[in-house]
Structure 1
């Protein structure tokens, strides 16, 4: 029997410390609700958990960013809605001023309102803001240029990132056209034109006011007087008539019917759509078949003017919305300038030049304003598409954040029921060890029995 070293007490003391330490760990987990309270608890788990936490917080912020983006878009769309109302009123005034029941003085009074409406369109363009950032003055427009507009023009840079895009037009768009007809219209041969039976794209051509021996120029003029209805233009070669569509591509229509159709045009050929290969800023190539000359590339619109190559350079892409948790997970929202100097075009005139003080001016203004209304409608449609995309983005971000949070919880959070079981076990072991330590400390006293 030895008294210098109480081995039983030492063993019990070690077990007591172990149970006490385990009890402290479970108490820490229960009080914090987390399985990992320090790197020592699970070094790899801590690293994984912190990375997941960064992603979750990034996703949640990206969702808030998208919601702010929707608010910005709604602000811009509200301004465009009012612009729409103004343009509709201007068109109404144009129709009113086109009526010759109005005197010159009447039209001058109408023009006064038109001038005020123009000023309001420009004020909306200059002053519509979100968080002090102007929205409709063109500062958020997507801007790009082509190195060779005889090959490619960029009509809209929506959806493109900044950088250079190499465009190669391998197939140029063509119009549908007929070969020359079988009849010669030289002004000397009787072709019985007055009773000729010809329909183009379902529209019957009335030749009754032409002379039977009309020349080819007269026939061309008559057919072209129906161009706005048929979408087809006539020309003359060697006094024979050939026809072609006004638009390009496979979807264009060129159908001749009637008993005399062959006199005015032969077999139909052409009607190809443009085919382009576009290489982006990351050197990724994509081949696209357009609709006629028009090519839709990632939301941007290009016009293929002819076969060949050009470089499209995008210098500004509008506002960038960060809609992801990581680098470059963003989308661009562009808003074009909506003012009297941009509404309309060179062919029909611009809203800034609308003048209703004459019947001709009022009549022409109707077409100008129709174009302007179409442009604002197009811009609003684009903004609506952006907003719908952001709605889906928010839903996806919320789902991803939820699932990633669940995964992070499995790594970081404690299972309370299981930990309570461990706590109960460790508490009992600690109490039992304490009792046994007391018993072990009593064993050396038995040596006193030998001294009696």
Structure 2
């Protein structure tokens, strides 16, 4: 064999293999100490790209879980407040049923009941305005919320409480259980003018409206909205108008108008006219202030000559002035205060119950969404783990092999370095 000292090929080969095995051992040490199979892109470029995508999904889903839990909290807050609203309405209904017992209650007893109903109405309003989540009002009719319940764009659930839950919006703001049954309907002979109808003074003063026929000279139907014809019209007196008027096959409930926030009688009259025009299909305002300051005149005004209604009511004349109502029987209905209150409270309870049912359904949806998100987080985390996490047993085997190879390589490098010593024997 050739003996050379300038170039030790065996030592170079041993050193190269030692370097390779030492690098492999260091990588194994890195993986074992970090717990990750991929510590840098060079370890697995494709795997790293997949892993980073999965991490984005996992992080987004974890945030979505928190968002969904916020949705549950919002719904629970709103529904909890509505549960108390329902309790209040049920109490008001119980009081109204009690007030309907005319044979066993005195006037003072009814007034005491009405006082409690007034306080309960105030509490309904307070709950509606003060029920909030993170500063956002939930029950004033303005709440709409969109919750991001996924890791990607447009994965949302919307929550809305579009109906205010205050007393006025529920239709119970003006209930008054102290009234008594008023006169039902009014009529006139065929061809006669149905003219003036005034509220019964006693009933009106206590909050109900009874219609009685009087006079025959006017071509309108008039309401005296108070006990005396010389009284000024007050907004509260508009609230007492709670009958139903039917003309031409159409009807209008006087009590359907909400005067909440209205302080001027002129503004109340405007709201009444707007609602009545729409309901009765009229082109001009049907209600006007009468000849004295306390009188509201209802006159059917229609700018169509010879207009004929569809409900057996013929309107004569060719001008848009208050018309005589010939051969007609306008119908008025007015329940007693307590009976009317029961009906209104039944409607309010149904409205609140419907809203609570919607919120309950949303809560169930949110809870199922949360469960689904948690399952997705678990499965995606497991998928990411299979890509980036190191198999400790397998890597420990690889580390042991590389460690032995490094030790062997070191020994062989030493032997290769010693092989050149044999040349010295030739020089002796």
Residues of 2 paired with 1:401 and 1:105: CA distance?
Answer: 66
Shift of 1:106: 2.0
Q: Please give the alpha-carbon distance, in whole angstroms, between the structure 2 residues aligned to 1:353 and 1:323.
A: 42
Please identify which structure carries the higher strand content.
1
User: In the aligned structure 2, how far is the partner of 1:68 from the partner of 1:370?
Assistant: 32
Match of 1:294 in 2: none
CA displacement, residues 185-206 of structure 1 (integer Å, 9 cap, x when unaligned) = xxxxxxxxxxxxxxxxxxxxxx
SS of residue matched to 1:37: coil
Q: 1:441 aligns with which of 394, 411, 417?
A: 417
Of 378, 397, 403 in structure 1, the residue corresponding to residue 373 of structure 2 is 397
Q: Report what 2:389 is aligned to.
A: 413
Q: How is 1:305-320 mapped onto 2 (pairs within 5 angstroms)?
A: 318-320=144-146
User: What's the counterpart of residue 339 of structure 1?
Assistant: 166
* 1:352 has 2:179 as partner: no
* Pick aligned residue for 2:86 from 84, 87, 95: 84
**Partner Cα separation in structure 1 for residue 164 and residue 378 of structure 2:** 39
Matches within 5 A, 1:262-281: none
Q: CA deviation at 1:324?
A: 0.4
- Conserved? CA contact 1:97–1:110, under 8 Å: yes
| TM-score normalised according to structure 1 size | 0.59
Contact 1:107 1:358 (C-alpha < 8 Å) held by counterparts = no
Summarize the alignment of residues 147-296 of structure 1 with structure 2, pairs less than 5 Å apart. Answer: none
* Moved beyond 3 Å, runs of 4+: none
Q: CA deviation at 1:342?
A: 1.2
| CA shift for structure 1 position 26 | 0.4
Partner secondary structure for residue 334 of structure 1: strand
SS at match of 1:342: coil
Say whether residues 1:120 and 2:126 are aligned partners.
no
Aligned with 1:123: secondary structure?
A: helix
- State the secondary structure of the residue aligned to 1:370: helix
Gap runs ≥5 in structure 2: 181-335
Q: Distance in 2 between matches of 1:18 and 1:116?
A: 87
Find the residue that maps to 1:11 and give its secondary structure. Answer: helix
Aligned equivalents of 2:39 and 2:354: distance in 1?
56
Q: Any idea what the Cα deviations from partners look like across 1:194-227, whole Å, max 9, x if unmatched?
A: xxxxxxxxxxxxxxxxxxxxxxxxxxxxxxxxxx
Secondary structure in structure 2 of the residue aligned to 1:332: strand
Partner of 1:237: none
1:93 corresponding residue in structure 2: 95
Confirm whether residue 111 of structure 1 aligns to residue 86 of structure 2. no
Instruction: Give me the whole-angstrom Cα distance separating, in 1, the residues matched to 2:137 and 2:26.
Output: 59
How far has the Cα of 1:16 moved from its partner?
A: 0.3
Question: What is the deviation of 1:391?
Answer: 1.1
What 5-or-longer segments of structure 1 have no aligned partner?
141-317, 344-349
CA apart distance, 1:116 = 0.5
Would you say the 8 A contact 1:49–1:411 is kept in 2? yes
Matched, 1:102 2:105: yes
Once the two structures are superposed, the pairs formed by residues 17-166 of structure 1 within 5 Å of their partners are 17-100=19-102, 101-140=104-143
Q: Deviations over 1:385-417 (max 9, x none)?
A: 001111111111111111111111111111111
Question: How big is the shift at 1:450?
Answer: 0.3
CA drift of 1:131 comes to 1.7
Tell which structure's C-alpha radius of gyration is larger: 2
The count of corresponding residues between Structure 1 and Structure 2 is 269
SS at match of 2:140: coil
1:424 alignment partner, one of 367, 375, 400: 400
Q: CA deviation at 1:39?
A: 0.9
> 1:62 is paired with a residue of what secondary structure?
helix
> Does 6-15 or 390-399 show the bigger shift?
390-399
Between the aligned partners of 1:25 and 1:4, the Cα distance in structure 2 is: 34
Q: CA deviation at 1:332?
A: 0.3
Higher-helix-fraction structure: 2
How far apart, CA to CA, are the structure 2 residues paired with 1:438 and 1:446? 14
CA distance in 2, matches of 1:136, 1:12: 81
User: What is the root-mean-square deviation in Å for CA atoms of aligned residues?
Assistant: 0.9
Q: Aligned partners of 2:376, 2:358: CA distance in 1, in Å?
A: 27
Post-superposition Cα deviations, 1:319-344, rounded to whole Å, max 9, x if no partner, equal 0011101100001011132111111x
State the 1:105 CA deviation.
Answer: 2.3
Match of 2:353 among 370, 377, 385: 377
Q: Say if 1:104 and 1:358, in contact at 8 Å, map to a contact too.
A: no
Which of 320, 323, 329 matches 2:149?
Answer: 323
Q: Is the CA contact (8 Å cut-off) linking 1:65 and 1:323 kept in structure 2?
A: yes
Native 8 Å contact 1:87 1:373 kept in 2: yes
Task: Map Cα deviations across residues 256-280 of structure 1 (whole Å, 9 max, x no partner).
Answer: xxxxxxxxxxxxxxxxxxxxxxxxx
